Amino acid sequence: MKLTPAILDILGDAISQTPPAYKAFASFNPSTGEVLAYVRDMGAEETEAAITSAQAAMPEWAAKTAKERAKILEKWHDLLMQNQEALGLLVSLEQGRAIKEARGEVAYAAGFIEWFAEEGKRAYGRTIPAPVAGKQLLTVQQPVGVVGAVTPWNFPLSMITRKLGPALAAGCAAVLKPAEDTPLSALALKQLANRAGVPEGLIHIVTAASGAEVGKVLTTDPRIKKFSFTGSTAVGKTLYAQCASTIKKISLELGGNAPVVVFDDADLDIAVPATALSKFRNSGQTCVCANRIFVQRGIYDAFVERLTAEAQRLLLGPGWEEGTGLGPLINQKAATKVTQLVEEAVSKGARVVLGGKVDEAQGPLYFPATILTHVPREARMFDEEIFGPVAALYPFDTEAEGIALANDTPFGLAAYAFTTDIKRGWRVSQAIEAGMVGLNDGVMSTEVAPFGGVKESGLGREGAVEGLEEFLETKFISFGGLG
């Protein structure tokens, strides 16, 4: 399956379909292993030039009114939705996502642009009653400056617009390095942004086969005033430290280890499909996927049976085929990690109820929906993100035990609880250590609500009102001599 004419029309000269003369790397189709296209392999020099260009472009953009910026962002949103089929297929080809989900990724990404086009008009300051006569006190909101950003492969459009939407709405310019697995999706976003009227030079997509060199510039160049990262906690810690030398404003959207706590009194007609959706969405490759599923003992067997039936309905196949429910994992490193986690859990007593190993007949990246029971606490997958379609189930007895198990992790991004007892629901949602709690809900993500984690899952929030604040600085003005 190749890039279609509609996709090539969007990408234009940002890519090459044959090995180019310039330094380049390939983007692969995980469903087939084929090369999709080649993109520039950039480094420190290109990144520094991009920052120079962004810094030059920002003043004119910041001088526009929020309403003028909103008009251009609204046009960008419209172009994304008008190209939803082509962009959805591109995401499916480049990231392996099941096509029906990939179309949703386009709409999710466009939603951030639409939301922040509006929010940019609400960057309110305020006046403050002065404590002494002859003064007026007020605050104004100003764009933080040139933004540096680094994003992951698993949501190749929305993790970018979740940053560029508020950055541009606030009046900033940006230099962004996408993941090496999904550079085409990032370039397509920029191409359409420029067609919508975002000035050349305001957004730079710096594609690179390895992130370290580009990341070092984005985290240490003093001209970058805000650094925003989405990715693993391990890399986030490295970048956080690198930002210290210039005291950059920073946002970190990092790894998760989401618990699901299903109580005896749960409505299984809600809990089972919601857990399946959370677990198997994007083939289990989301930061908010159910990673540890705790089921109260009284319903454990019934829950295992019903979740297994849900998982069996997920057809494993190439992302672009309409019937596909589970696409391939992103690359061999991912498939090897998931395989090792399952084998290690089984070696410690876990039982495979469904799936459990790569479907070699389809290819090395095709990992089927997998259900594991009797997973021991000491299994690696209790403490590590599985990042694959593997449901690990653990029984528990009391509410206190369920909460303690849920919180037994240094991560705190998403968590889920299922109960029909409203008081229990409120108690548990307050006690669980996470930035986001789904109460009888398996998919929370929306541009209108704040997304982010606590503990080692990150700093700051994206989306919602909070998302714009990450790209603004509050200036306090004390107006004296008015007596």
Ligand X SMILES: O=C[C@H](O)CS(=O)(=O)O
Ligand Y SMILES: NC(=O)c1ccc[n+]([C@@H]2O[C@H](COP(=O)([O-])OP(=O)(O)OC[C@H]3O[C@@H](n4cnc5c(N)ncnc54)[C@H](O)[C@@H]3O)[C@@H](O)[C@H]2O)c1
d(CA 89, CA 103): 8
The interface with ligand X within residues 249-288 (CB under 6 A) comprises 286-288
Pair 370, 339: CB distance under 8 Å: no
Stretch that binds ligand Y, among 22-30, 75-83, 107-115, 211-219 (CB under 6 A): 211-219
Is 415 an interacting residue with respect to ligand X (CB under 6 A)? no
Binding-site partner at residue 179 among ligand Y, ligand X, none, CB < 5 to 8 Å by type: ligand Y
- CB closer to ligand Y out of 15 and 239: 239
Question: Nearest residue to ligand X, using CB?
Answer: 445
Task: Write the Ramachandran bin of 292: left for phi over 0, alpha for psi from -120 to 50, otherwise beta.
Answer: beta
SS3 148: strand
- CB closer to ligand Y out of 438 and 458: 458
Question: Total binding residues for ligand X by CB under 6 A?
Answer: 7
- CB closer to ligand Y out of 209 and 405: 209
Query: Considering 46, 94, 114, 253, which one is annotated as catalytic?
Result: 253
d(CA 79, CA 85): 11
Contacts of 384 (CB under 8 A, 6+ apart): 257, 341
Is 228 an interacting residue with respect to ligand X (CB under 6 A)? no
Specify burial of residue 111 (Cβ count, 10 A radius: 0-12, 13-18, 19+). buried
Scored b (16 or more CB within 10 A) or e, 244-262 reads eeeebbbbbbbbbbbbbbb
Is 259 an interacting residue with respect to ligand Y (CB under 6 A)? no
Sketch the per residue contact string, 432 through 451, with ligand Y: x for CB under 6 A, - otherwise. Answer: --------------------
Question: Total binding residues for ligand Y by CB under 6 A?
Answer: 27
Is 336 an interacting residue with respect to ligand Y (CB under 6 A)? no
d(CA 457, CA 412): 5
Is 30 an interacting residue with respect to ligand Y (CB under 6 A)? no
| Rounded least distance, CB 433 to ligand Y, Å | 15
The residue among 216, 209, 152, 148 whose CA lies nearest residue 185 is: 152
Is 182 an interacting residue with respect to ligand X (CB under 6 A)? no
Binding residue for ligand Y, selected from 96, 152, 156, 463, defined by CB under 6 A: 152
Is 240 an interacting residue with respect to ligand X (CB under 6 A)? no
Binding-site partner at residue 395 among ligand Y, ligand X, none, CB < 5 to 8 Å by type: none
| Rounded least distance, CB 407 to ligand Y, Å | 18
Tokens 């003992």 -> residue: 297
Is 229 an interacting residue with respect to ligand X (CB under 6 A)? no
- Torsion 395-456-236-286 (CA) sign: positive
Is 155 an interacting residue with respect to ligand X (CB under 6 A)? yes
- CB closer to ligand X out of 286 and 296: 286
Tokens for 331, please give them: 């690359």
Binding-site partner at residue 445 among ligand X, ligand Y, none, CB < 5 to 8 Å by type: ligand X
| Rounded least distance, CB 238 to ligand X, Å | 19
Question: Which secondary-structure segment (H or E) carries 249?
Answer: strand 249-253
Q: How many CB atoms lie within 10 A of CB 29?
A: 21
The residue among 173, 192, 189, 134 whose CA lies nearest residue 51 is: 173
Phi, psi of 378 (to 5 degrees): -85, 0
Q: What angle do CA 429, 411, 307 make, to 5 degrees?
A: 65
Question: Which secondary-structure segment (H or E) carries 150?
Answer: strand 146-150
Pair 291, 392: CB distance under 8 Å: yes
Catalytic residue list contains 60: no
| Rounded least distance, CB 400 to ligand Y, Å | 28
Is 338 an interacting residue with respect to ligand Y (CB under 6 A)? no
Tokens for 148, please give them: 């540096």
The interface with ligand Y within residues 280-299 (CB under 6 A) comprises 287
The interface with ligand X within residues 423-462 (CB under 6 A) comprises 445, 451
Residues identified as active-site: 253
Which residues contribute to the site for ligand X (CB under 6 A)? 154-155, 286-288, 445, 451
Which residues contribute to the site for ligand Y (CB under 6 A)? 150-155, 159, 177, 179-180, 211-212, 215, 230-232, 235, 238-239, 253-256, 287, 385, 413, 458
